[in-house]
Structure 1
């Protein structure tokens, strides 16, 4: 099973640049086209939050238009830039989303790998919180199929990544979340977005991966006095392949590059 992971497209209304700098809408459209050209096709596409930059109806209308050509089934979760109710309304045809409350869900129909989404966003704030209610929901969802390979996706990573201005906006409650994950060894990956970079770390006995943004890359600046900054580095997405012996994750740059050449 192939699972593609897009993240943080920060879609704006048609004709508006993200942060006045980058055509994030065109970048997401290019990602959709690149996914559609993969052979074999992904069995599932996950979009791990910050679908919209401002969470407006116009943002989501543009996002739905851009995502419409995607051939593979799509599963979405909100990020800190999304507005929960506008997000719910925009994706109201996605029957796996709950009608009220946080947008947690367990997708039992996703194939051999079950997808569990944990909505750790806090309306109006940029950090996340794995609170007691969210952890209880997750524990129950994982217990429903304890032997089935599973990925858990949430927007803000529940770890400190060593970049101070990113760590301010992590998902709080990471130790308690890791304890829940550790009780369920069928969890193959914890998949996050938010940081606009690819990062890997052991977490709760499994591997946590963050996906790059399709729009911009947040600067890797570990100094405590570093100021927030971003670059127009080559964007990308993650491609996870599940086999019975485990899950393998690839980073795929977005774009066209010279080749193919007849050597490996």
Structure 2
């Protein structure tokens, strides 16, 4: 099974640029075209939040317009730049999403079970899941303790070392970690938010954050570092799962590069 992941496209209304500088809509379109052009068609696409920049209906209309060309299914969770009610309305035809409250879900129709968690706190930028959400998560895992499972949430549940992003991380991941450590069939936890690739061993499994299809947040670790970003190179992640060998994650750069050449 090939599972693609795109995160943080920050789509804008038609004709508007992200931060007044970046054509995030074009870059998201190019990311989707990149997936469609792979030599193996993805079985599923996971979008790990910040689909839009301001949570405006016009932005969600543009997201749906861009996604309409896909010929494989996709699952969505919100990020801190999404607005829960507008998000819910925009994806009202996605039956796996709850009709009220946080957008937690379980997609169990393929060889790998996907559990989506809504780690957003309305009106704020940091991440959290309330006790009711954690109870739902435990009960969901208990329904099948053997099937390979991927968890997706927007906020990485650890410190990145980038001070201006760590202010808005998942602030208290200990209760979530307690739930996850109770189960041994969690293959990966996938996140976005930091616009960078990061890996961390956590809660008995691996957390993997996806780069943005739009901008890369600068890797600065000084405590007084000012927020900065770069344009490109954009990338997505490809998670290849095989029953005999488990899961392997590949970084896939989006764009045109020299080659291919006849050597490996």
TM tier relative to shorter chain: over 0.9
Q: 1:112 is matched with which residue?
A: 111
- Following TM superposition, by how much is the alpha carbon of 1:95 offset from its aligned partner in structure 2, in angstroms? 0.9
Distance in 2 of aligned mates of 1:235 and 1:125: 27
Unaligned runs of 5+ in 1: none
CA distance in structure 1 between the partners assigned to 2:116 and 2:170 by the alignment: 14
Partner Cα separation in structure 1 for residue 230 and residue 207 of structure 2: 24
TM-score, structure 2 normalization: 0.98
Map 1:34-183 onto structure 2 (within 5 A).
34-109=34-109, 111-183=110-182
Aligned 8 A contact 1:130 1:173 in 2? no
> What SS class does the counterpart of residue 31 from structure 1 fall into?
helix
Partner of 1:251: 251
Find the residue that maps to 1:29 and give its secondary structure: helix
- Quick one: distance in 2 between partners of 1:65 and 1:229? 30
State the alpha-carbon separation in 2 of the partners of residues 259 and 39 from structure 1.
Answer: 16
CA distance in 1, matches of 2:169, 2:262: 44
CA distance in 2 between counterparts of 1:175 and 1:202 reads 14
Task: Show the counterpart of 2:215.
Answer: 216
Query: Could you tell me how far 1:173 is from its partner in structure 2?
Result: 2.4
Q: CA deviation at 1:172?
A: 2.3
Match of 1:262 in 2: 262
Aligned residues: 263
Q: CA deviation at 1:107?
A: 0.5
Query: Secondary structure of the equivalent of 2:32?
Result: helix
State the alpha-carbon separation in 1 of the partners of residues 4 and 172 from structure 2.
27
Equivalent residue number for residue 229 of structure 1: 228
- Please report the RMSD computed on the Cα atoms of aligned residues, expressed in angstroms: 0.8
Secondary structure class of the residue paired with 1:207 = strand
| 4+ aligned runs moved over 6 Å, structure 1 | none
Q: Encode CA deviations 1:41-93: one digit per residue, 9 max, x unaligned.
A: 11000000000101010000011111111121000000000010100100111
Offset of 1:40 from its aligned partner?
1.2
Tell me if the contact between 1:237 and 1:251 (Cα under 8 Å) persists in the aligned partners. Answer: yes
1:172 aligned counterpart, secondary structure = coil
> Where do 5+ consecutive residues of structure 2 fail to align?
none
8 Å CA contact 1:127, 1:170 repeated in 2: yes
TM-score by length of 1: 0.98
**Is the contact between residue 156 and residue 170 of structure 1 (CA under 8 Å) also seen in structure 2?**
yes
Is the contact between residue 130 and residue 172 of structure 1 (CA under 8 Å) also seen in structure 2?
A: no
- 1:233 to partner: Cα distance: 2.4
* 1:181 positional shift: 1.1
Report deviation, 1:133: 1.6
Query: Aligned partners of 1:246, 1:175: CA distance in 2, in Å?
Result: 27
Instruction: Give SS of 2:239's match.
Output: strand
Question: How far has the Cα of 1:130 moved from its partner?
Answer: 2.4
